[in-house]
A and B are shown apart, each in its own frame.
Chain A
Amino acid sequence: MKMVEVRLENITHIYVTGRKTQTLAVKDINLTFPHASFCALLGPSGCGKTTLMRIIAGLNIQTSGHVYFDQQEVTPLTPRERNVAMVFQFPVLYEMNVYENIAFPLRSVKVPESEVKRKVKEVAELVGVTHILNVHPSTLDMGSKQKVVLARALVREPNVFLFDEPLTNLDPLGRLEMRSKIKELQRNIKTTMIYVTHDQAEALTLADKIAVMDFGVVVQYDEPTKLYEHPKNEFVGFFLGNPGMNFIQGTLEDNAINFGEFKYDVSDVVEKLKEYGTEFKIGIRAEYIKVSKKPFKGAFKAKCIVSEHLGTSTLLDLKAGDKEFKAKLRITDVKEGDEVYVQFPKEKVHIFNKAGELII
């Protein structure tokens, strides 16, 4: 199996529907997915991630731009010629038994029967469906169905493996199962994998690199930890994480950003900030906020509005003046209505300008 580097150069795609209705799906995308990496395309519905995947697969030909597999331009090639495999949102299984389903791609390109038999058996063992080769897929449960789908995708030894939100239609238990199956696959098979999802937790767990998309453009393309800790803008910060990053708007006064009831000291960077005006937003993740029932140095007062118990942690909705934000704590006995003391640790705070772009 070749491990291919997928490179997108200036990809723009416009959908034309009906009579002259044009929709810009993706604009000027430049991305490189390295050999044998697992990369995710993450974003809300309509951001263009599925379009991009279909362009890589060859199901849609981009309006302009180039797609390269290693150094070869694959734009004129059919999906089969590109040797991509795709796993859809629901298990796509043909009306034939499991063996024939898996054999289908090989038979479609006239592979000799003896070869077919060998390859199907090999892949069936790998995925764990040898015992159901003679069964019709309609009798199988969801998990087995997806396994057959994987087997059919693997039997062709694809260059690139594409996943189009495969976990969306599964119940939470099924989702966890499939997620570990995919991780296992990732370890065992060294193939370039591209995974489309709107679930940030999925992307954070599975991917080596994530391209966060919104409205047809790539907002930030980086490793999960970097995206999580250093989001480029408000969109990325809020989209990733559960809950998303807190963003609190304030005004620069003297050496601090004023939020009404409390201030945040910025004396060390105040000169740089002055270049951007006076309105700023600070971003801090819920799990990094220090909360205590007793006052401590540097803390300001806030009131607990909602307390959600999430099993191993508690999510608090806190309010100070007219500013609201969430804090996530391990063990706490803070209840709704309590007064608490809050501090934002400097090393975890990011400063954004009014439009939501990262400055520091």
Chain B
Amino acid sequence: MSEEKFEKARTPFFFYASVLPAVLVFTVLLLFPLAYEIYAAFVTREGTFTIENILTVIKDPLYTWSLIRMIIYIVIDISIKFGLGLITAAAFKQEFFGRGVVTALALAPWAVPLIPALFAWYMLYNPDFGVINYALKSLGLVKAPVMFLNDPNTALYWIIWAHAWRYTPMWTTMLLSGLYAIPEEYYESAKIDGATPFRTFIKITIPMLKRFLLMNAVLSLIWTSGEFASVWVMTRGGPGNSTQIVGTYAYWYLLFIGNSNVAAAALVVALPIIIVLMLIFMRLVGGRR
């Protein structure tokens, strides 16, 4: 476009026309569903204003437990992803034989389609013909098969592990780029100052990764709070509701009880809790910011 044409086109109309597609997408995909959901939580099926839905949800002990489990899920999940992600990132930063292949393998969990991956873990956990139990029995480590997903006390944690396993590579790549951003001179300076590798890692490397950690943690928080697939695929919320989290609770209420307003309420009540958690994270990790 020639200079003159460009200058002439710089009108308010042109500006609005250019951003319109982005605004449309944003509104339709994000704002609209959110607004509608909040609306749905506060009305009856007929459309009259009510807080009944909210009350039903708050009074239901199953829901309270779902909330608690959601928080447990988020905390353990992020801890695993952070810990494993950091260790693998630090390991991959060095040169070693077969590095390319190992990196590809380590990133594979993320690349695999979600439902098949979750289903695969479901199969692995199976007490009768799952590979894990088979291996444990063959090695003589257990006599009876381990009830991974069938034990109400442990099921949630095995689900969390499968989920964390799948998303750790995202943390690994993010942290790896964060590690590369740290100039060698910092490690040299620490060496000259007499710090052990461990001390260097804790006092120098990790603080310098703060920005990356915070970004990842907040993203993880938002995505995991609405977690649904991992629980639904592996246990449907069982055994005996011991793995119900907010996402599955809402779905179950929608599909089996048929009340979409209560389902919306379930999600809306969880919203402020997520926001509070996010603020806590930002305080903990961000510090000055």
Contact = CB atoms under 8 A, between A and B. Distances in A.
Contacts of B208: 95
Contacts of B192: 57, 59, 79-80, 84-86, 105
Contacts of B203: 94, 96, 104
A79 B194 CA distance: 7
Contacts of A57: 192
B204 A86 contact: no
B151 interface: no
Given A94-B204, A136-B288, A109 B194 contact: yes
Interface string A99-118: 00000110011000000000
Given A95-B207, A108-B199, A90 B185 contact: yes
Contact of B194 (A88, A105, A136): A105
A152 interface: yes
B56 interface: no
Interface in B267-285: none
Contacts of A96: 203, 207
A104 B207 contact: no
Nearest to B208: A95
A182 interface: no
A255 to B, nearest CB: 58
A257 B204 CA distance: 64
Interface string A72-92: 000000111000111011101
A104 B191 contact: no
Contact of A94 (B188, B196, B207): B207
A84 to B, nearest CB: 6
Interface in A123-157: 136, 152, 156
Contacts of A85: 192
A109 B195 CA distance: 7
Interface in B162-185: 183, 185
Interface string A36-62: 000000000000000000000101000
Chain A contact patch, size range: 20 to 34
Interface residues of B, number: 19
B186 A94 contact: yes
A84 B208 CA distance: 25
A105 B210 CA distance: 22
Contacts of A105: 192-194
A162 to B, nearest CB: 9
A159 to B, nearest CB: 12
Contacts of A89: 185
B189 interface: yes
Contacts of A59: 188, 191-192
Given A90-B185, A92-B186, A94-B186, A78 B207 contact: no
A86 B194 CA distance: 12
A57 B192 CA distance: 8
Contacts of A95: 204, 207-208, 210
A291 B93 CA distance: 62
A156 B189 CA distance: 13
A104 B185 contact: no
Contacts of B194: 78-80, 105, 108-109
Interface of B: 183, 185-186, 188-196, 199, 203-204, 207-208, 210, 288
29 contacts: A59-B188, A59-B192, A78-B191, A78-B194, A79-B192, A80-B194, A85-B192, A86-B188, A86-B189, A88-B185, A89-B185, A90-B185, A92-B183, A92-B185, A92-B186, A92-B189, A94-B204, A95-B204, A95-B210, A96-B203, A96-B207, A104-B203, A105-B193, A105-B194, A108-B193, A108-B196, A108-B199, A136-B288, A152-B193
Given A86-B192, A88-B185, 6 more contacts: A79-B194, A90-B183, A90-B185, A94-B190, A108-B194, A156-B193
The 7 A-B pairs with the shortest beta carbon distances in the complex, nearest first, are A80-B194, A95-B207, A105-B193, A108-B194, A108-B195, A79-B192, A92-B189
